[in-house]
Amino acid sequence: MADRQGDSVVEWLEIDLHKLSGIERVTLIDEILDLLTVQELGHVRESADKKRAGKLKDARSAFITEMREKAEQLDLTFEEVLEMETKPKTRKAASPKAKYRSPEGEEWSGRGRVVKWMLELEAQGHSRDEFLIRDE
């Protein structure tokens, strides 16, 4: 190797990484990774994880700053916007309407497992139709 006098490898090899597309940069990295040992790959992984964490932190900060500015334009705080988005949906599903009524006044929608009182009445020879709730 020639004396590089403190130049980075890309400067020494005269590679302008900014002229490469993202796919070309990834392809270059893949080609280099093919040549590395397991130990070298471990170092690359640690370095990549650290760089990713730093860039993620920066991106998160930029995102929060941008959202705060947008919220401010609406005369809201970022916290108010987050609160709006995280409120639980309080809409409750409607209970199914009763379809059958026992002689004692117990009601059953006709959905799911057959209720005990209906099973007992059917065992006595009654028909479910006898206990249908007619529109009153």
* pLDDT tens for each residue of 85-116: 666 667 777 888 899 999 999 999 999 899 99
Q: What pLDDT score was predicted for residue 40?
A: 94
Burial class (CB in 10 A: 0-12, 13-18, 19+), 16: exposed
**What is the rounded distance in angstroms from the CA atom of residue 119 to the CA atom of residue 122?**
5
Phi, psi of 100 (to 5 degrees): -125, 145
Q: Are 73 and 67 in contact (CB under 8 A)?
A: no
Q: What pLDDT score was predicted for residue 83?
A: 80
Distance of CA 111 to the CA centre of its chain: 33
| Mean pLDDT score, 29-53 | 94
Q: What pLDDT score was predicted for residue 2?
A: 53
Query: Percent of the chain beyond pLDDT 90?
Result: 54
SS3 113: coil
**What is the rounded distance in angstroms from the CA atom of residue 96 to the CA atom of residue 33?**
62
SS3 44: helix
Count Cα atoms within 13 angstroms, Cβ side, for 89: 3
The per-residue pLDDT for range 54-93, each reduced to its tens digit, is 999 999 999 999 988 988 898 888 888 888 766 666 777 7
Place of tokens 């529109």: 135
For residue 118 the two structure tokens come to 């209906």
For residue 49 the two structure tokens come to 């994880």
Between 24 and 15, whose confidence is greater?
Answer: 24
Q: What pLDDT score was predicted for residue 23?
A: 92
Q: Is residue 136 scored above 60 in pLDDT?
A: no
pTM comes to 0.47
Q: Is residue 134 scored above 80 in pLDDT?
A: yes
SS3 101: strand
